[in-house]
Structure 1
């Protein structure tokens, strides 16, 4: 009897201890940064918005300060909402803040552990990151200008001949630049099956990773043990990985074959192949490294340019000033080039303001993670915590940028830094915007993007007037700049605009430049006939 009573007491005590531990899930421990009130088990999950999360994160920053915490089931997310906090932690302590949290759906199932964006910090990530930085450094970025010039000329001609489809032309420009620089082939039309396949694949990945199920599996790892008929997102993720890997592997192996046969053009995969010969990493990994660049470059540039077009519709006085500067420096007879950049400071301001005003990675894409316990501002940041770069809130900080929802390129009238130089500036107040991230996880394509954006913005303004569309009564239709798409990368919701040639003479220049550029392209394949002048494809190792 006594033994039975002891067993019952032991069981009760164990149950109580277990219950207490379960009920502690979701609570904010003492010493953590402040944040919204929690409830047992969920923490703050029930407060997470299903859309426009950037506005709620901005509201919490106003309530709880530049560093606050969100308790998400078994995990904690530290939100950095000031330039100083980002500089102090993600930049200055990058060795501690370059990890990722475990993303079971996104990285393990959807990506087979191969996606660099979500890869945990370690030897493999450092090796591949060093490789990408070496291939996409400032000197290498300059070599891709011939690709940017040609694709830009097609974009202008496409807008000239089919202005209502300007979003698709901008998207093709961005995607073709990325496929050309990555794999060595052009996306010549938005109807290109490769373009559709890549675009649809990105969408599938984004949608799957934004479902509530994906988040719950990350926040409560025990759910991974449930049968898949209860949580079908796991089976969908595995199927998507097989489909995606097949696509990326196809593009990588085609590029690899072209290089080994001496038929390729200078591109990222040419350098990647040389690295593979030296280091011996697998084709699967190489395909995801190159696929990562497609993901990073395809949507971000086009989304920023689309936001720029919207800004020109809403702020016509900016457009007039920008065009006046272009006319003074460039004149009416030719398109701007990269050689004009340092004489077009207001245009450079338009580029930087586009990145600030309409940040595509509005919540920093994927949070960093702390690889060790740390303290900041008197708060504990525990090992394993996610650390989010609250891009929208910092970009809209009225202390940094008065009237932040006004599109004002004059904010950068005395800022002669490149995007990369600005991100590396030791003074956080001197950084232009935070859209490309921070620390060791900063976007490696920042130098390429800067040139693509400058050419896109300067040449659209040289060639066209951008005006609001008109309704049936002839009244202007103004888009709402607060209506954004949802996802890892966001942009304005689709809107109409009138894009009109500034003159017949400028329209003729656009047409002639594209006709001349087409001579470089095979009329059947729509690909480059030969390696562009000034570019060199180094020999492969023997």
Structure 2
């Protein structure tokens, strides 16, 4: 699917290309009714109601209120990179999960220790994604009768038990997160959280308790794992392309000098090349046909992008959409269409990610702070090939890769430590 097809089908005709096909495993994992999970919910009144509730939380003025949280949590992550750089994968998960924990539930995700809510979430999420991977369960959508075949006669032995176990863990976690947030609100804490807004405005009365558990749980799913994968891809790209890393560092240094990065100033206008790095790392059709948006193909169309397989953030400086100046074919309007976006990594149409601006803000401040404080170094060749360097899964991201974070000088070390102390004091309000 080309970019103009995405706009034509998903953006402009979203009313007929916004539903979801039936996914049988949802009935085994999500509590009844199975359509309470927004990702798998068919397009209709129920979807629109839940989408509106979430969109109200993700309005620009509400997103702006999260900047102090993003600033503090990113300062904690830089401190963690300084102390335990070999655990950067867990630290990235903690950071993006903690942003959602604080903003949705009004509570702090201080660490990734065993038993912590953030770690529990990512363990459950890993199981959930594994269940959704092709081949992990019987193809019930094609052969429904396989649900009735005894396990001993199938290659998917134990799939029902795994689904039931996941259902218990997921529903229990989402229930506990909402219940804990509710108790904090009653105690006068977490008054700026999404849960507090639901309870205060009476909007929670429009949903039953299980629906509330899964609306807030969905925000955890949508706002953490995917963005963490994008951030790790950025780290991989910087390690693989030191010249581009130095150019981005030069821009960050020019804007922030020796004082350290302030989140409120880490914007696309102030850091256009860093924003370009962020972009770089991200008819007649029968009724009921499933439309798949191949984002990789859209972003690697040689008719629109110069050397699409090369990591080249400068493409977004020479053209706001990153495309060739000549890529404006008659009838397509690729270069001039106001609906065209520089990235389709957040989806399109009526299911486009509502938290796009929130994710961009988190990415910009963490990328800026990372490059300001550290040199990202790999002692050996870095594999960046899509086929070998990334996980083959529904939610993808880089496989483990060797990398070092070297503090750029002693002054920056002191700034990282001071910013962490200030951040820790600020984040205590969520404990």
The verdict on a shared fold, with TM-score over 0.5 as the criterion, is yes
1:514 alignment counterpart: 420
C-alpha separation in 2, matches of 1:451 and 1:196: 23
3-state SS of paired residue (2:406): strand
Going from structure 1 to structure 2, the CA distance change for 1:276 and 1:405 (only over 3 Å counts) comes to farther
Alpha-carbon distance change, 286 to 219 in structure 1, aligned in 2, over 3 angstroms: same
Alpha-carbon offset, residue 148 of structure 1: 0.3
Report if the CA contact (8 A) 2:130-2:136 is conserved.
Answer: no
SS of 1:187's equivalent in the other structure is coil
C-alpha spacing 1:115/1:468, structure 2 compared with 1 (3 Å)? same
Match of 1:94 in 2: 14
Distance 1:119 1:507, change over 3 A: same
Relative distance call for 1:458 and 1:415 in structure 2 (3 A) is farther
Q: How does 1:392-541 map to 2 (within 5 A)?
A: 392-413=296-317, 427=337, 430-469=340-379, 476-482=380-386, 483-522=389-428, 528=430
TM-superposition CA deviations, 1:461-518 (whole Å, max 9, x none)? 111111113xxxxxx3423433211222101110011111111111111111111222
2:276 is aligned to 349
| Structure-to-structure mapping, 1:284-303, within 5 angstroms | 284-303=210-229
TM-score by length of 1: 0.71
Greater shift in the superposed pair: 286-295 or 186-195:
186-195
The structure with the largest strand share of the pair is: 1
> In the alignment, is residue 220 of structure 1 matched against residue 138 of structure 2?
no
- Aligned partners of 2:320 and 2:108: how far apart in 1? 33
Question: Once the 2 structures are TM-superposed, how far is the Cα of residue 226 of structure 1 from its aligned partner?
Answer: 4.3
| Alignment of structure 1 residues 300-319 onto 2, 5 Å | 300-319=226-245
Find the aligned partners of 1:130 and 1:455 in 2 and give their Cα distance: 28
Give the conservation status (yes or no) of the 8 Å contact 2:7–2:340. Answer: no
Q: Report 1 or 2 for greater relative contact order, CA contacts < 8 Å, sequence distance ≥ 6.
A: 2
Aligned to 1:138: 60
CA distance in 1 between counterparts of 2:12 and 2:121 reads: 36
CA separation of 1:339/1:528 partners in 2, compared to 1, >3 Å: closer, same or farther? same
Partner-residue secondary structure (3-state), 1:216: coil
- Indicate yes or no: 2:128 matched with 1:202: no
Moved more, 513-522 or 194-203: 513-522
Q: Which of 1 and 2 has greater Rg?
A: 1
Question: Cα RMSD (Å) of the superposition?
Answer: 2.2
1:389–1:211 CA distance, 2 compared to 1 (3 A): closer
User: In 2, are the aligned partners of 1:336 and 1:458 still within 8 Å (CA)?
Assistant: no
Change (3 A) 1:491 1:277: closer
Aligned residues: 408
Residue 466 of structure 1 aligns to a residue whose secondary structure is strand
SS for the counterpart of 1:478 is: coil
Aligned to 1:337: 263
1:168 to 2:90 alignment? yes
Q: Give, in whole Å, the separation in 1 of the partners of 2:372 and 2:12.
A: 41
> How much has 1:383 moved relative to structure 2?
2.0
Describe the SS at the equivalent of 2:398: coil
Deviates more, 1:256-265 or 1:225-234: 225-234
More displaced, 499-508 or 164-173?
164-173
